[in-house]
Structure 1
């Protein structure tokens, strides 16, 4: 499962718009939008999302990175 799918699932589960979810996460809406469409995510944002959502995204991030190489 990709991080983009997990992020969108968590957003919808909470009933948030992209703007509300971005505010909740403390990131710009444009940044979140890029991540929701599957663009690459830096470790900085993996940490932010993991902490705010209480989900370990690091392992998924590493697997995604391996698959792209």
Structure 2
């Protein structure tokens, strides 16, 4: 519930604060439901990639710097 505050000249600040304090619900948060339990999933390692001899030569050339990687695109 919001109360408009109209400050009259005869009321001092302390009286206005006492009169209208405590009407804000900003600090109140609703209860949240509990989180569901975590499901453990076993991670499977990926299968090893088998490269042909030609592919291995290209990889070695890129790693050594004799072929720039952007030239493969």
Q: Same fold judged by TM-score > 0.5?
A: no
Q: Which one has a larger percent helix, Structure 1 or Structure 2? A: 1
The two structures have a TM-score, normalised by structure 1, of 0.24
Larger radius of gyration: 2
Greater RCO (CA < 8 Å, at least 6 residues apart): 1
The two structures have a TM-score, normalised by structure 2, of 0.23
